[in-house]
Chains A and B, each alone.
Chain A
């Protein structure tokens, strides 16, 4: 279990704060961050925080979950088109997945993603919830 600690810790900026990389040459935004811009091959980036707001581009409902997610079934995993124009995949929670529709406005929230058994590390990150102004 402990072997995952360093990898998870390295991903903190994008998981906790939705930090993306904005290419200084062509302004393309990449999430997660990249070393080389696939649009213009630029190598210099500015760190930007995504607004957390977007629109549900597509989704599926998980009924047979992988290890650690069984308590959440049925739950939705969706691809969200962020207001910045990029796409992000995450769980859609605090909703009845059967009532979700493509095009729904969603907003990110900081949630528990998983935990490494009863005694291991707790992993946190972003999920999306319906944008109800709450």
Chain B
């Protein structure tokens, strides 16, 4: 039996509203809000990056797991905004947690799917018996080009999961993956902002992979949508995951706990993992959770977990995701946002 023994998330305190971005670019804010299904997004402070978010989320996961960090045998950090092109984020996270030096570490990148890639590897590494505990983190401080549709949604946040084989808060029942080479979104080396295929990111990309992974997962686990209590899909905007849930036979009570995008934005590698963290914060024991990520390029990882009574004991040991999302947020104007995100050209 393997699964999640501890989990945690971290959301920066700053937010910017859709209206504030739309005002600068002459865009129609109500149309964007309706089209993207989101009202605001998180913004990292100037001293936050993928590594700092990953450390904060992992420390929350450690509080809930209540284990010695030296027992963690593997640390995987998934992100598309690693602070260095060459030099691992995983070593920074491992060192900050106190997991070094007897730990296997790797950085992963697969657009918005890198977080669940780490979860997949960590779970199966524990299952193989190679390590006692493995940590997987999805963290991003995503960037959208100024004026691009992505700028309205590209946000920052992280979720971390410690996988183990005893004292499980959620037991893993099964996994399933669906991948093809589909160029819907990319960022070339040395390019500051990503590019995307516009509408091509919808049907042949998000929908095809996420829908196929979901139906494949349900078929493999011999489950029907009504057997699942909570479902979390990748959230590039507030609309795609809701459409996906409805088309695949899920109802609002099943997806509402994990749907964070309308006030969080798209946290890329952190997106569906943060939805899982928010779901674990409020889920009942002995319920099935379906998590399906999506990463451009493209592919989806699907997981089915069963919550345990242990979850109810550990969830209050660290700040909950919704609390971080809803409380003490600080709204900023576009000028401050542009400064925080280093979008303003300055003298050297």
Contact mask for chain B residues 258-292; partner A; CB cutoff 8 A; 1 contact, 0 none: 00000000000000000000000000000000000
Asked if B96 and A124 sit within 8 Å, CB to CB, the answer is yes
Asked if B96 and A111 sit within 8 Å, CB to CB, the answer is no
Asked if B47 and A127 sit within 8 Å, CB to CB, the answer is yes
Asked if A93 and B324 sit within 8 Å, CB to CB, the answer is no
Asked if A124 and B328 sit within 8 Å, CB to CB, the answer is no
Give the size of the chain A interface in residues (CB under 8 angstroms). 20
Query: Does any Cβ of A come within 8 Å of B13's Cβ?
Result: yes
Query: Does any Cβ of A come within 8 Å of B92's Cβ?
Result: yes
With beta carbons under 8 angstroms apart, the residue of B47, B51, B56, B95 that contacts A72 is: B47
For A132, list chain B residues within 8 Å (CB): 327-328
For A71, list chain B residues within 8 Å (CB): 46, 339-340, 342
Would you list which residues of chain B between 42 and 73 have a CB under 8 Å from chain A?
45-49, 51-52, 55-56, 59
Give the size of the chain B interface in residues (CB under 8 angstroms). 27
Query: Does any Cβ of A come within 8 Å of B144's Cβ?
Result: no
With beta carbons under 8 angstroms apart, the residue of B48, B84, B95 that contacts A122 is: B84
- How many Å lie between the Cα of A127 and that of B47 in the bound state? 10
Asked if B45 and A94 sit within 8 Å, CB to CB, the answer is yes
Asked if B98 and A110 sit within 8 Å, CB to CB, the answer is no
Contact mask for chain A residues 94-112; partner B; CB cutoff 8 A; 1 contact, 0 none: 1000000000000001111
With beta carbons under 8 angstroms apart, the residue of B52, B83, B97 that contacts A111 is: B52
Also in contact, A110 and B96, with CB within 8 A (given A93-B47, A127-B47, A134-B319): yes
- How many Å lie between the Cα of A36 and that of B330 in the bound state? 45
Asked if B47 and A12 sit within 8 Å, CB to CB, the answer is no
B69 to A, closest residue via Cβ: A17
Query: Does any Cβ of A come within 8 Å of B323's Cβ?
Result: yes
Contact mask for chain A residues 58-76; partner B; CB cutoff 8 A; 1 contact, 0 none: 0000000000000110000
With beta carbons under 8 angstroms apart, the residue of A12, A16, A111, A133 that contacts B48 is: A111
For A127, list chain B residues within 8 Å (CB): 47
A129 to B, closest residue via Cβ: B13
Asked if B328 and A109 sit within 8 Å, CB to CB, the answer is no
Chain B nearest Cβ from A15, distance in angstroms = 9
For B56, list chain A residues within 8 Å (CB): 109-110
* B positions within 8 Å CB-CB of A: 13, 45-49, 51-52, 55-56, 59, 83-84, 92, 95-98, 319, 323-324, 327-328, 330, 339-340, 342
Given contacts A93-B47, A122-B83, A124-B51, 7 further A-B contacts (CB under 8 A): A71-B340, A71-B342, A109-B52, A110-B55, A112-B47, A112-B48, A112-B52
* A positions within 8 Å CB-CB of B: 12, 16-17, 49, 71-72, 91, 93-94, 109-113, 122, 124, 127, 132-134
